[in-house]
Amino acid sequence: MIIINAFLAALGQIGDPRFRKVLGLGVGLTLALLVAVYALFLWLIQTLVGPEVTLPVLGEVTWVGGLLSVSSLIFMLVLSVFLMVPVASAITSMFLDEVAQAVEDRHYPHLPAVAKVPFGEALKDTVNFLGVLIAANLAAFVLYAMFAPFALFIFWGLNGFLLGREYFTLAAMRRVGRAEARRLRSKHLMTIWAAGALMAIPLSVPLVNLLIPILGAATFTHIFHAVNGIR
């Protein structure tokens, strides 16, 4: 019941202006990053291959660079399907302190104010989270190939664990510090993993998946307060 109640409370606040602000920042920065990566990838292709290539028998061929450019675009589009959500989740995590504060302002107004997480610390956590998410999801392609019938369940389980671990820590350490957040995370591991899996299931639904970082942060703020005995 803790998970369901927390999720429903988070869903009921989805229209909060601060939620929309964080969503816009996360998606905008993610798209900008993907475009920048694609531009760099395209520049490398043009630099290494050039606009013209000389092939045996055929002689000079001028369309190879263009063909590779089109192929690179298709490659980046396919890759973005798998990386959009991990990247968006990581980037959005820089701003999730604002989501947690919005939840507490509405549902726990009696709590004392907390200091905002310094930008440098938030950025460091974001980079670490991004690295773990991308590495884990790329490595999981091996498992998807080996256990194809269970690929979706592996995806949900892996990302559920990672999302639950990150978002609970973000919510908890605002109030009790990083060390105590880790202790609580270990103590309530199965609840956190199950809640993370609930967040991970919509990751396979386009557009809906972009809301997951916001809903996740809000949901785990409620879960932290529930397991910590705060009403």
The stretches in the chain having pLDDT less than 50 are 55-59, 61, 63
Please tell me the pTM assigned to this model.
0.75
d(C-alpha 74, C-alpha 130), whole Å: 23
pLDDT score of 191: 93
pLDDT score of 193: 94
Q: Are 92 and 214 in contact (CB under 8 A)?
A: yes
CA 143 to chain centre: 20
CA 146 to chain centre: 25
Write the DSSP assignment of 49-103 as a string of letters. H-S-EEETTTEEESSHHHHHHHHHHHHHHHHHHHHHHHHHHHHHGGGHHHHHHHH
Angle subtended by helix axes 96-107 and 151-187, to nearest 10: 60
Write the DSSP assignment of 154-183 as a string of letters. HHHHHHHHHHHHHHHHHHHHHHHHHHHHHH
pLDDT score of 167: 87
pLDDT score of 57: 47
pLDDT score of 61: 47
pLDDT score of 113: 84
Most distant CA pair in the chain, distance: 80
pLDDT score of 58: 44
Q: How confident is the model over 160-183, as pLDDT tens digits?
A: 898 888 889 888 888 888 889 889
CA 155 to chain centre: 13
Burial 176-201 (b: 16+ CB within 10 A, else e): eeeeebbebbeebeebbbebbbbbbb
Q: Are 103 and 13 in contact (CB under 8 A)?
A: yes
Q: What's the Cα-to-Cα distance from 198 to each of 100, 138, 222, rounded to whole Å? A: 19, 21, 15
d(C-alpha 92, C-alpha 213), whole Å: 7
pLDDT score of 85: 59
pLDDT score of 209: 73
